[in-house]
Amino acid sequence: MAFMPETSFDRAWLERARSGDDEAARELIREHYGLVIKIVRGHLPRRMDEEDLAQMIFVKVFQKLDQYNGSAPLSHWISRVAVNTCLNELRSEKVRPELRWADLNEDEASALDRVLEQKEEASADEQSAMRELASKLLATLSPIDKSILTMLDLEGRSVAEIAEALDTNAGVVKIRAFRARRKLRKELEKLERSKL
């Protein structure tokens, strides 16, 4: 099936947007917002609001509008700009993938205090906050390490099952799990120090 370079809707509004027509720019945003926000939600960096990232993508789209040559549908070109922007933001976040005390909401901070002070058993709300905190800590790991710890500790799978699922050997799974847990302990210590 051959793709039409762009729809007649896109072509009309695109030319107007290129000439600086604000109404045309708003219409292009309305038309392609759903596509962009779907991509953003699938690639959202941990410390970034989805609306902020969508806005950043549309700014880039309009800055680079002259680079669009019409050889593919406009939605494909916008998708590529969106995915590249998201991936660049994720890469920049990986440079400093630490969790800070300020990143925690009140319930998560309270739950962490309880864990660190080893107080009595946590309430249902605190257990929920602890799960959220665990999720945030796991997000500091590489995707493969996060998968290994999730399967091992949260899903209760055996090392052999994980090795088979990841097409590797049990030794690699054990080593990666050990290193990932050590990294989580360090992140937790950093988090505790950032509270002070």
- CATH code: domain 101-195 is 1.10.10.10
In angstroms, the CA 69 to CA 114 distance is 58
Structure tokens at 194: 């950032």
What's residue 115's pLDDT?
A: 58
The vertex-135 CA angle with 134 and 138, nearest 5°, equals 85
User: Could you state, in chain order, the average pLDDT of each consecutive group of 10 residues for the chain (196 residues)?
Assistant: 50 81 87 89 73 89 86 86 84 59 61 60 69 78 82 82 85 90 83 70
The string of pLDDT tens digits covering residues 53-66 is 899 999 999 888 88
Structural domain spans, the chain = 8-95, 101-195
- CATH code: domain 8-95 is 1.10.1740.10
Q: Does the pTM exceed 0.75?
A: no
In angstroms, the CA 174 to CA 168 distance is 11
What's residue 166's pLDDT?
A: 81
Please state the separation of Cα 135 from the chain's center in Å. 12
What's residue 1's pLDDT?
A: 35
What's residue 3's pLDDT?
A: 38
Structure tokens at 138: 């796991």
